[in-house]
């Protein structure tokens, strides 16, 4: 097992290299460049040349890549063109925000979706099932930012019970932090929950008609034990995959939520940087995303073997 984990971690390196090379060249091939993005209509050839010079953008692309890669190996992610700040510092400020949002949203999502999915499956075609399916349908159809603005209007503007914008870390002040994270997490959680509810429901339905479930019931096991211990564990494997993917996405920041609720997270940073053609920030952020994704995938694979002992990595 340990060797498997080590092998997977070593596989990170070619993956990250591939990702960074593709990102590096892709963003440079996109029309527009940092100088015109920053200067806009007032761009003159001299101003453009000056910006290109100070950011090393006048060098050939492969050289730029090697210079950047060299710095990254020393944990120097470079300087943002738009903000003139160290990128590592910027990321360290934004990552916790997206992380806290992601974790709380995921908890809310799982807290809603798994029970709903199970009940929907077990009580198939009853009113509970229909309500569960309606909920999932709404969650997938309703745009996140619309839901967010609606919640803000009700709770922050009309009822004044929750803050309108901003972020406080849960580690600095748990109750204030939670108040600021509540509406964004509910919004994001609803959106995530929709997919997981459907997934849980359909996986449970598949499993519930398997022979071993009938056997378990025939053995005289209580229904609760049959569902929670036997059916659920087997149904969870595809659900775990989906949840893992979702977690990978939202750990990188959810830009629409961050914009609506004015949270200083990673999503906003990356989208703004793409529009501003802030190449070093985009490269650093994508590198971070790739790292997170690979690690989450590894975690999910390891969890599989926990859920289903038949899966092993010896």
Partner 1 sequence: MKARNIKIMLMVVVLVVGLVSSVMAVEPKYGGVLTVADDKIQPSLDPQHNMGFGGFELYLAFNTLINYNENLEFVPELAISWEIPNNTTYIFHLREGVTFHDGTEFDAEAVKWNMERMLSEYSQVSSYFKEVNKVEIVDKYTVKFTLKEPYAPFLDSLASNGYMVSPTAVKEMGDEGFQKHPVGTGPFAFVKLDKQNGKLIFEKNKNYWNEGKPYLDKIVLIEIPEDQTRLFALQTGQANFLMGVPASSVKHLKKSSKYNVVSVLSKSNTIDYLTFNCNKEPFNDQDVRLAIAYALDNQKIINFLDQTEAIPGPLPEGSWGHNPALKDVSYDPEKAKELLAQAGYPNGFDVTLKIWSNDPQRSNLAVVVKDMLFKVGIKVNIEVLEASALIQQMTKGEFEFVSLHWGGGGSLDPNGNLHVLFNSKGQLSWIANYNNEEVDEYLEAALKTTDRAKRQELYWNAEKIIVQEHPMIWFGRFVSYLAHDPKVHGIEPLRPSGYFPIYENVWIGN
| Contacting residues toward partner 1, per CB under 8 A | 30-33, 36-44, 46-47, 50, 82-85, 93-94, 145, 149, 152-153, 156-157, 160, 164-167, 259-262, 264, 268, 275, 277
> Closer CB to partner 1, residue 109 or residue 273?
273
| Residues with Cβ within 8 Å of residue 5, at least 6 apart in sequence | 298, 302
* Min dist. Cβ of residue 96 to partner 1 (A): 10
- CB-wise, 101 or 152, nearer to partner 1? 152
Answer yes or no: are the C-beta atoms of 94 and 265 closer than 8 Å: yes
Q: How far is the CB of 161 from partner 1 (least distance, A)?
A: 12
Of 43 and 237, the one with the shorter C-beta distance to partner 1 is: 43
Nearer CB in complex with partner 1: 173/214: 173
> Where does residue 282 fall: left (phi above 0), alpha (psi -120 to 50 degrees), or beta otherwise?
alpha
Nearest approach, Cβ of residue 165 and partner 1 (Å): 5
CB of residue 82 to partner 1, shortest distance in Å? 5
Find, among 257, 289, 103, 267, the residue nearest to 191 by Cα. 257
Q: Compute CA distances 237 → 57, 172, 199, 282, whole Å.
A: 47, 36, 10, 33
Q: In the complex with partner 1, which residue's Cβ is closer, 37 or 231? A: 37
With helix as H, strand as E and coil as C, how does 244-268 read? HHHHHHHHCCCHHHHHHCCCCCHHH
Q: Supply the minimum distance, in Å, between the C-beta of residue 127 and partner 1.
A: 36
């Amino acid at each position: 097992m340990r060797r498997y984990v080590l092998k997977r971690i070593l596989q990170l390196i070619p993956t990250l290299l591939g990702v960074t090379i593709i990102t590096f060249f892709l963003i440079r091939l996109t029309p527009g460049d940092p100088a015109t993005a920053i200067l806009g209509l007032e761009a003159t050839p001299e101003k453009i040349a000056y910006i290109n010079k100070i950011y090393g953008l006048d060098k050939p692309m492969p050289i730029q890549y090697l210079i950047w890669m060299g710095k990254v190996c020393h944990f120097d992610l470079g300087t943002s063109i738009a903000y003139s700040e160290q990128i590592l510092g910027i990321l360290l400020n934004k990552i916790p925000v997206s992380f806290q949002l992601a974790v709380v949203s995921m908890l809310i999502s799982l807290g809603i979706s798994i029970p709903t999915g199970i009940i929907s499956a077990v009580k198939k075609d009853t009113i509970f099932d229909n309500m569960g399916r309606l909920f999932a349908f709404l969650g997938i159809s309703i745009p996140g930012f619309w839901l967010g603005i609606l919640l803000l209007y009700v709770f922050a503007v009309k009822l004044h019970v929750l803050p309108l914008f901003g972020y406080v870390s849960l580690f600095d002040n748990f109750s204030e932090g939670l108040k600021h994270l509540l509406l964004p997490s509910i919004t994001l959680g609803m959106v995530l929950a929709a997919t997981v509810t459907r997934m849980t429901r359909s996986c449970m339905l598949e499993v519930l008609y398997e022979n071993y479930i009938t056997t378990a019931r025939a053995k005289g096991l209580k229904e609760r034990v049959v569902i929670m211990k036997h059916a659920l564990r087997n149904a969870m494997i595809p659900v775990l995959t989906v949840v893992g993917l979702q977690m990978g996405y939202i750990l990188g920041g959810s830009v629409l939520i961050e914009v609506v609720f004015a949270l200083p997270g990673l999503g906003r940073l990356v989208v703004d940087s793409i529009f501003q053609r802030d190449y070093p920030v985009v490269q650093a952020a994508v590198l971070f995303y790739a790292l997170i994704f690979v690690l989450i995938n590894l975690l999910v694979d390891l969890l599989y073997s926990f859920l289903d002992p038949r899966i092993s990595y010896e």
